[in-house]
Chain A
Amino acid sequence: MSLVARHLEANGIPTVIMGCAKDIVEHCGVPRFLYSDFPLGNSAGKPFDAASQAETLELALRVLETAPGPRTTVQSPQRWSEDASWKTEYSNVSKLTPEDIAERRKEFDAVKETIKVIQGKA
């Protein structure tokens, strides 16, 4: 998605990205980025929280209209929860058993196969 933002911007259309993966978006390099420190999937605000969603969009719009230059990142002041322990749960390989690893590997290979089949048909 960062690549799409760059392409639009290079062709004269100002963009803002709303996202939760700070390192990936900034690594690519985008014009404007509203970062929410939430679990992936919540780029536009917290679930079932209209105020959070409205505030998130408003902040993105302000970044769009006021960014002084490219690579402008603003971090939303909203918190997912008081306790930040959810961050340590994501893709924690130290918690995987050898059985987990075998299972995940099998699953990933199946996914790759599915993609190949679909692309072959496309």
Chain B
Amino acid sequence: MAFAAEHDVPIPYMQKTREYYLALGYGNPYRWAHYVDVPFAPPARPLAASRVALISTAAPYRPDRGDQGPGARYNAAAKFYEVYTDSTATMPDVRISHVGYDRTNYKGDDPRTWFPLIALQDAVKTGRIGALTPRFYGAPTNRSQKVTTQTDAPEILRLVREDAADVAVLVPT
């Protein structure tokens, strides 16, 4: 069995991002969140009897906020700063122009690649999971770890508890 190509490894995004901003002339590189200890809660019941919460970093489409794709350039005006919810009954119009997805290799033209609601609805139909919560939850990507840990994460916890979620599937972009 031949070895894989040397570059055929997970892309080192932290290193690439540091190099990029240094090349642009910015010092003080971004410091990513980092912990030694990680919490762990085993599932209390089988998934077929569990209610699943979907949490996403995708942004609701807002026509007044400029080009939001597919293929749009990075669009900071499309960012959102507070946790939001919307119904899981139908596929919402949620976009990713506000985050740094790989615009070189992906046009960003199939929302199902960043928002797996249809696949989750199918999993409910086949009985693989018990149910979805009636709402999904939108998590802001505002690069403030303080706001994420002290405001957004507690708010999402409050909402998923209100909706009696047993487990959560989180999909960052």
Q: Give residues in A with beta carbon < 8 Å to B.
A: 1-19, 21-25, 27-31, 35, 37, 39-48, 50, 53-54, 56-58, 60-61, 64-65, 67, 69-71, 80, 84-91, 93, 96, 101, 104-105, 107-108, 111-112, 114-115, 118-119, 122
Contact = CB atoms under 8 A, between A and B. Distances in A.
B15 to A, nearest CB: 8
Interface of B: 4-5, 7-17, 19-20, 23-26, 32-43, 46-47, 53, 55, 57, 74, 76-77, 79, 81-82, 96, 100-102, 104-110, 112-116, 118-120, 122-123, 128-129, 139, 141-142, 145, 148-149, 152-154, 156-157, 160-161, 165-173
Nearest to A12: B41
Interface of chain B, main secondary structure: loop
Given A27-B34, A41-B108, A53 B119 contact: yes
Contact of A23 (B14, B57, B106, B109): B14
B35 A105 contact: no
Given A18-B169, A24-B32, A7 B153 contact: yes
10 contacts: A7-B149, A9-B40, A15-B169, A17-B172, A21-B172, A41-B106, A44-B116, A50-B112, A64-B167, A122-B82
A1 to B, nearest CB: 4
Contact of B106 (A4, A35, A47): A47
Given A6-B39, A27-B14, A39 B101 contact: yes
B113 A47 contact: yes
B114 A42 contact: yes
A76 to B, nearest CB: 12
Contact of B119 (A17, A37, A57): A57
> Of B19, B35, B57, which is in contact with the most chain A CB atoms at under 10 Å from its CB?
B35
A105 B24 contact: yes
Nearest to A17: B170
A57 B47 CA distance: 13
* Most chain B CB inside 10 Å of its own CB: which residue of A35, A42, A44, A107: A44
A108 B24 contact: yes
A37 B24 CA distance: 27
A91 B17 contact: yes
Given A45-B113, A47-B106, A69-B40, A54 B122 contact: yes
Contact of A13 (B17, B38, B166): B166
Given A1-B171, A13-B165, A118-B76, 9 more contacts: A1-B57, A7-B153, A41-B114, A45-B113, A56-B116, A56-B119, A80-B105, A108-B24, A108-B26
Contacts of B77: 114, 118
Nearest to B21: A108
Contacts of B26: 108
